[in-house]
Chain A
Amino acid sequence: MKSFTTTALATLIAVGAVSAAQAEIRIGVSVAATGPAAFLGDPEAKTIEMLVEELNANGGINGEQVELIVYDDGADPNKARTFATRLVEDDEVVAIIGGSTTGTTMSIMDVAQEEGIPFISLAGAIAIIDPVREYVFKTPHTDRMACEKIFTDMQARGISKVGMISGTDGFGASMQAQCKDVAGNFGVEIVADETYGPQDADMTPQLTRIKNTDGVQALLNPGFGQGPAIVTRNVHQLGIEQPLYQSHGVASDGFIKLAGAEAAEGVRLPGTALLIAELLQEGDAQREVVQGYKAAYEAKYGESVSTFGGYAHDAFALMVDAIARAGSDDPAEIRNALEATAGLVGTTGTYTFSAQDHLGLDLSAFRMLEITNGGWSAVE
């Protein structure tokens, strides 16, 4: 016990000495590292911690070290609000990254906007950046963009009548509404619109109805968790020949495993470059960033990268780039630099912010992927 106390004291003194010797840039993070959204927050926290280590080892930003303060809000909006306030008032951070879920983002967003601290969110909802708030940015693409990407691909294949089967969970319901909203812009008509509960074990009745609807040329399944895997199996079971489109919500190797390679054959979905890191062509703008991040993360943590960790990677890269260009640690100047970001290549896409656009991605950020022989391949 005594030796432990001594070591702890020594460490404290050492840390104190370092921070006294060098000026530091303080960046705050509040993510859901545990709790129901841990599958989002866990890789996000790990990614940022890894990147800060790398950055400091390479000399920091403009010669200044970065100090990271990470809180685990467990996807609880109340905790997120408390932590955001603590980050601003006690820890005196110059920027915040975090908000794994839309709920926690909404809490942090208010604090950041009020206190004038630039904040990059890692959550999906379009409401975060529409309407635009001065200090709030985000890295993940919206489900509306996923719908547009899917319908673009359908249009290219001459598909105009679609049967939809959506999960009633938050993700599925939101994407269902967005897809119905934009379908008309692509000359696509939703001729069947079915739903299932997130815990349902069999969707053959809904799929039979879609199968029996006249003129259905393709199926679209916005959903998350086990639902899409079961839908894919059921489509195969019923022998439905029309192409099946899944959402970016299941863009992971785990999905192919759950649905089974045979049933998943030919399924298309919009995903990020991270999923097909090895397949990226020489000369692809994202190739270097994506492969670098994937290799570093997998070597350090011994688990495969996820799209969600990629969101955190991009948020951190954007923030570091903005702080470097601002040349100061004044939050207002960092914000201005952030808004002026142009052509920053991330794992999710290439970001160009403007006063009207705090997401900065276009449809090219999504790659249309197809499952062939139990693996991914790029369509195009």
Chain B
Amino acid sequence: MDGLMQFIFSGLTVGAVYALVALGFTIIYNASDVVNFSQGEFVMLGGMITVFTFEAGLPLPLAAVVAIAVTAGVGVALNKLAIEPARGAPVVSLIIITIGASILIRGASQLIFDKQLHRFPAFSGDEPLQVLGATILPQSLWVIGGALLVFVALWLFFTKTLTGKAVLATANNRLAAQLVGINTNYVMTLSFALSAAIGALAGVLVTPITLVGYDVGVGLALKGFAAAMLGGMGNPKGALVGGLLLGLCEALTAGFLSSQYKEAVAFVIILAVLFVMPQGLFGRKSTERV
């Protein structure tokens, strides 16, 4: 089992990246049943804006805050300009709108920023930590910690706060939610702002590891989406477990079997899980309302 610890560390690092992206899908999905395919672009924006404001001279923490705030603003704009006017359209149309938005954001950032890859310094340096004969970068711990933090925050939000419950209620039945006094427009705006902010936070945390360019969003969104499906769409616990599981599968396959098959094995496992549990590991059972 030589190298096992290294494979696990690699899996946890990559898995935490997937989990952070997957967690971003959760809120919008819970508020509207829409899978937001521009989530990857939010991650990209988080990274890119941080890079450019940091290089313009802002201190890193401030640059990160600016990036998260601006991206949340982009999320709100997306809801106000594209999703809200199409209110009443079927969910599939809304999903297609988010795909369109992702293409738009990608094209715009290619013009506003540039087409190069970028990176900013890791928060706690690049010196690897030695643990049990394997190495892990301090930034990986930041990513894992960030994923756990977002998970706990989301879990508290959905179970302990009135606003969180209002979000769930809006998804369940928009009309009924309005009848009991929930401002559903506000809930939708809030959910886009929060999802975009989580995406941007993910971008800030992962950029020192994955690097960022205008086109990294697609790949990240795809893996994050796979992780969210594996764990169960809409459940923060599912996003966390799904992401880590996917990362570990890939790393262990690459380590013990062959790197040629690592994606294939990961996706076969996802297919197998979804075959037995169509809602994913922790997904809510879909019950038809009568």
Contacts and interface: CB of A to CB of B under 8 A. Distances in A.
A76 interface: no
Contacts of A86: none
B260 interface: yes
A195 B258 CA distance: 9
Given A199-B220, A205-B254, A212-B2, A254 B116 contact: yes
A202 interface: yes
A118 to B, nearest CB: 31
B137 A237 contact: yes
A197 interface: yes
Nearest to A34: B110
A10 interface: no
A206 interface: yes
Nearest to A199: B219
Contacts, number: 89
| Main SS class of interface, B | helix
Interface stretch (B7-15, B79-87, B157-165): B7-15
B6 A226 contact: no
A200 B259 CA distance: 11
Interface stretch (B66-74, B209-217, B237-245): B209-217
Interface stretch (A13-21, A154-162, A256-264, A292-300): A256-264
Contact of B259 (A195, A225, A226): A195
A195 B260 contact: yes
Contacts of A288: none
Contacts of A194: 254, 259
Nearest to B6: A208
Contacts of B118: 258
A239 B135 contact: yes
Nearest to A195: B259
Contacts of B13: 201-202
A38 interface: yes
A258 B254 contact: no
Contacts of B260: 195
| Main SS class of interface, A | helix
A281 B213 CA distance: 36
A229 B126 CA distance: 14
A322 interface: no
Contact of A39 (B11, B115, B209): B115
Interface string A206-225: 10110010000000000001
A195 B257 CA distance: 12
B219 A38 contact: no
Contacts of B254: 194, 196, 205-206, 209
B117 interface: yes
A208 B14 contact: no
B54 to A, nearest CB: 13
B135 A258 contact: no
A238 B255 CA distance: 14
B128 interface: yes
Contacts of A195: 259-260
B116 A205 contact: no
Interface string B226-258: 000000000000000000000000011011000
Interface string A252-290: 001001101011000000000000000000000000000
A102 interface: no
Given A39-B115, A202-B10, A205-B251, A237 B135 contact: yes
A258 B223 CA distance: 23
Interface in A45-75: none
Interface in A164-213: 194-202, 204-206, 208-209, 212
B259 A196 contact: yes
B59 interface: no
Contacts of A39: 115-116
B27 interface: no
B119 A258 contact: yes
A197 B267 CA distance: 14
A263 B125 CA distance: 13
- Of B6, B137, B219, most A-chain CB atoms within 10 Å: B6
B145 interface: no
Contacts of A258: 117-119, 211
A230 interface: yes
B211 A230 contact: yes
Given A226-B117, A238-B135, A258-B211, A205 B126 contact: no
A169 to B, nearest CB: 12
B61 interface: no
Contact of A225 (B6, B117, B220): B117
A140 B44 CA distance: 33
A53 to B, nearest CB: 25
Nearest to B219: A199
A205 B211 contact: no
A202 B209 contact: yes
12 contacts: A39-B116, A201-B13, A202-B10, A202-B14, A208-B7, A226-B117, A226-B216, A229-B119, A233-B126, A236-B128, A254-B117, A258-B118
Interface of B: 2-3, 6-7, 9-11, 13-14, 17, 115-119, 126, 128, 135, 137, 206, 209-211, 213, 216, 219-220, 223, 251-252, 254-255, 259-260, 263
Interface of A: 38-39, 194-202, 204-206, 208-209, 212, 225-226, 229-230, 233, 236-239, 254, 257-258, 260, 262-263
Given A212-B2, A257-B119, 13 more contacts: A204-B10, A205-B255, A205-B259, A206-B254, A206-B259, A208-B3, A209-B255, A225-B213, A226-B210, A229-B119, A229-B211, A230-B210, A237-B137
